[in-house]
């Protein structure tokens, strides 16, 4: 694939997907933006929630119609791509969507939501294009405009104190430092023009002592400024990271299921550039602007002509940075995203190393990671290439300006126009300060503008809706008896997806033991999430002790139930920590009781460190059965009124399972289990079968199963 050249500008602005399966939504956003509807992916996602399982073509057609675009799906051979109304959406690699901007000279300009824009030869396109395209034209009721929800900087540092005072201190100390910078060239001028011609050592000594004391003051100010910057930067960085992390930890479970871990981490790391710019960039912008004005005034006092030349060079530099900004921003975004994908692949590889070793797929996985690393490195190279162009332009502009300035300044001295040698030295020093500060001011302005990229990435965290359980009143605590009911519950992953649950009705009485079985993919795990209040039904009600779950209180409900799910994991720490789930005050008596009920106490007793034994990364030091029993002990430690298990005893042998069932049965709590094993199902008081989104009573009684 051939990347777009540095100076190539396409008319379609690339929109990169955030969630795993929203390439269709991102492609739709690109076409909508092209036609004048300036809408970001986050806003589009909040209006039309995508499915984790992807969007079929009919879903895209429906979404396009809702935003005022007239869709037309066509099936065509590769050679007819040039006849499509562009930009249009192409079906790609059987499970992906891209945007075609145009076909020219046997090359197609493809915008890939999963990567970047490329001019792709048609023979390469043929390897990916499935023959299906979606043309999109604005309808009569299509409305353009700007529909973007932006994250504001002020939303990130709420409840932070002392920031304004710290910035004021930094500003004052920086001004002291700059006063030294302004005075230093004058020392050179007086020494050359006055002390040297007169051979006046006394004057030279006075100047040296005076500026030496000034240097000591400057050093002290620099020391204090460094400490203030350290404290302010650390405080602001901690506050920003804490606020963003708090929001991240309160997002719905399905938010994390739709994103790669590496992408989430890369978004979170956008806090760093924001913190740096707020503590140092803001002060630098003020000081650099002030110093540029002061030094420019001094330069005009020395020579208006020379000062005008410096201004022209500064303006040319500003134009170069402004022209290259959009390219730099795109390259920066690509670098961050590609780096996140490489990190996601590496994390997945490390997590699955046992599987890779067993199947001998280390080489193939290394090749996959290397491909991601190549993409990340190429993105970094593209960003560095832009920096090289900027640096070259900078050196050329200011190099020519310096040559012309020296020529004119020395000619003024030769002509005897009142311009002394000392003045040449002083002017060149002030000019160097002006060029440095004005260029730094432009760079800071560009950096502040670049914060928009980091704010956009953080907005996926900060502007996403919190899990509805955090909307509960903190002082509401309703005692749970243990009865739970579903009434006419319908559920689907996204509005365009088929129903997963269709009119499910279920009543589980207090203390009852119900087993739910059925074929895989029938909706059992989704049913569990509904029962636990992790997802919300499309229609119908979840009742707890006769009250709708939202009235009972999600927090209150969650504090009195427990679950063992298929995707549960242990955390780095001791066995006691994991059973108590890092409770602030671990009750060891409850820990031992929960472990005994889960039939893991004897195993722990045989370990060298017993309950202080470290479990390793995600429980890597334990067997599958031991890990599952520790997870069960963690659930029982909560002393729940309702216990839900999704294949929670699948790794246990019959003896351990029997012991666990007897111990839990003696507690008299409500139990709902998802199971396939005969022994597990037989222990239940009532058996239900989930199939094709419907819940039915089992044909056989438990004794006959």
Let me know how many helices (H) and strands (E) the chain has, helices first.
Answer: 24, 19
Q: How far apart are CA 228 and CA 224, in angstroms?
A: 6
Strand partners of residue 69:
138
Measured at the CA of 354, the angle between CA 349 and CA 356, to 5 degrees, comes to 60
Q: Where in the sequence numbering do the catalytic residues fall?
A: 23
Q: Are 302 and 493 in contact (CB under 8 A)?
A: no
Angle between the N-to-C axes of helices 304-351 and 261-268, in degrees from 0 to 180, rounded to the nearest 10: 150
Q: Are 288 and 444 in contact (CB under 8 A)?
A: yes
Q: How far apart are CA 85 and CA 313, in angstroms?
A: 45
Q: Are 595 and 632 in contact (CB under 8 A)?
A: no
Interacting residues of 132 by C-beta distance below 8 A, sequence separation 6+: 57, 73, 74, 75, 90, 91
Q: Are 477 and 486 in contact (CB under 8 A)?
A: no
The helix/strand/coil state of 206 is helix
Strand partners of residue 92:
96, 129
CA–centroid distance for 93 within its chain: 26
Q: Which long-range contacts (CB under 8 A, 24 or more apart) does 191-200 make?
A: 191/422, 192/420, 192/421, 192/422, 192/425, 193/420, 193/421, 193/422, 193/423, 194/422
Q: Are 278 and 153 in contact (CB under 8 A)?
A: yes
How many other β-carbons are positioned within 10 Å of the β-carbon of residue 115?
Answer: 19
Q: Which of 33, 21, 116 is nearest to 60 (CA)?
A: 21
Q: How far apart are CA 550 and CA 558, in angstroms?
A: 12
Q: How far apart are CA 635 and CA 638, in angstroms?
A: 6
Q: How far apart are CA 473 and CA 47, in angstroms?
A: 27
How many other β-carbons are positioned within 10 Å of the β-carbon of residue 433?
Answer: 22
Q: Are 126 and 80 in contact (CB under 8 A)?
A: no
């Amino acid at each position: 694939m051939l990347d777009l050249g540095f100076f190539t500008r396409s008319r379609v602005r690339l929109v990169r997907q955030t969630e795993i399966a929203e390439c269709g939504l991102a492609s739709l956003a690109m076409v909508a933006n092209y036609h004048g509807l300036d809408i970001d992916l986050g806003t589009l996602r909040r209006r039309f929630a995508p499915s984790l399982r992807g969007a079929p073509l009919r879903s895209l057609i429906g979404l396009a119609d809702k935003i005022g675009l007239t869709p037309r799906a066509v099936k065509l051979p590769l050679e007819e791509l040039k006849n499509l109304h562009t930009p249009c959406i192409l079906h790609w690699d059987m499970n992906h969507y891209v945007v075609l901007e145009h076909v020219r000279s046997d090359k197609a300009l493809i915008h890939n939501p999963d990567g970047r824009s490329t001019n792709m030869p048609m023979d390469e396109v043929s390897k990916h294009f499935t023959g299906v395209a979606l043309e999109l034209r604005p309808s009569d009721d299509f409305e353009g405009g700007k529909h973007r929800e932006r994250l504001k900087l002020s939303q990130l540092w709420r409840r932070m104190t002392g920031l304004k005072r710290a910035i004021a201190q930094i500003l004052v100390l920086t001004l002291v430092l700059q006063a030294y910078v302004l005075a230093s060239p004058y020392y050179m001028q007086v020494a050359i023009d006055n002390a040297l011609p007169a051979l006046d050592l006394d004057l030279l000594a006075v100047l040296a002592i005076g500026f030496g004391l000034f240097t000591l003051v400057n050093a002290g100010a620099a020391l204090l400024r460094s400490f203030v910057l350290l404290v302010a930067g650390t405080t602001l960085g901690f506050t920003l990271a804490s606020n963003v992390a708090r929001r991240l930890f309160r997002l719905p479970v399905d938010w994390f299921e739709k994103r790669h871990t590496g992408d989430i981490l890369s978004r979170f790391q956008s806090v760093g550039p924001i913190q740096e710019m707020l503590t140092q960039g803001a002060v630098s912008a003020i000081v650099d602007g002030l110093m540029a004005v002061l030094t420019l005034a001094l330069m005009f006092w020395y020579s208006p002509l020379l000062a005008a030349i410096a201004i022209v060079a500064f303006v040319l530099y500003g134009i170069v940075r402004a022209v290259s900004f959009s390219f730099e921003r795109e390259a920066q975004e690509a670098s961050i995203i590609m780096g996140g994908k490489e990190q996601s692949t590496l994390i997945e590889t490390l997590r699955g190393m046992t599987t890779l070793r067993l199947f001998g797929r280390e080489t193939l996985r290394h090749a996959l990671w290397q491909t991601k690393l190549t993409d990340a490195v190429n993105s970094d190279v593209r960003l560095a290439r832009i920096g090289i162009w900027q640096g070259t332009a900078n050196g050329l502009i200011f190099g020519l300006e310096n040559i012309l300035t020296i020529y004119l300044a020395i000619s003024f001295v030769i002509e005897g126009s009142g311009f002394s040698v000392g003045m040449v030295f002083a002017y060149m020093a002030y000019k160097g300060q002006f060029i440095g500060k004005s260029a730094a001011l432009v760079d800071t302005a560009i950096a502040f503008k670049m914060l928009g990229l980091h704010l956009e990435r953080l907005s996926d965290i900060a502007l996403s809706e919190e899990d509805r359980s955090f909307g509960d009143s903190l002082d509401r605590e309703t005692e749970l008896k243990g009865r739970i009911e579903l009434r006419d519950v319908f559920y689907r992953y996204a509005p365009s997806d088929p129903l997963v649950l269709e009119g499910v009705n279920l009543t589980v009485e207090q203390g009852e033991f119900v087993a739910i079985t059925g074929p895989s993919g029938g909706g059992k795990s989704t049913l569990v999430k509904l029962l636990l209040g992790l997802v919300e039904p499309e229609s119908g009600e979840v009742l707890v002790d006769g009250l709708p779950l939202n009235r009972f209180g999600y927090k209150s409900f969650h504090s009195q139930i427990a679950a063992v799910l298929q995707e549960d994991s242990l955390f780095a720490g001791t066995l006691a920590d994991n059973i108590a789930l890092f409770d602030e005050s671990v009750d060891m008596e409850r820990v031992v009781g929960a472990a005994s009920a889960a039939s893991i106490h004897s195993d722990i007793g045989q370990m060298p460190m017993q309950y202080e034994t470290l479990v390793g990364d995600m429980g890597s030091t334990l067997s599958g059965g031991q890990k599952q029993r520790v997870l069960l002990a963690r659930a029982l430690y909560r002393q729940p009124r309702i216990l839900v298990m999704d294949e929670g005893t699948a790794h246990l042998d019959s003896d351990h399972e029997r012991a666990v069932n007897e111990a839990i049965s003696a507690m008299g709590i409500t139990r709902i289990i998802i199971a396939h094993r005969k022994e597990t199902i037989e222990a239940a008081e009532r058996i239900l079968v989930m199939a094709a989104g419907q819940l039915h009573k089992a044909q056989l009684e438990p004794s006959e199963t």
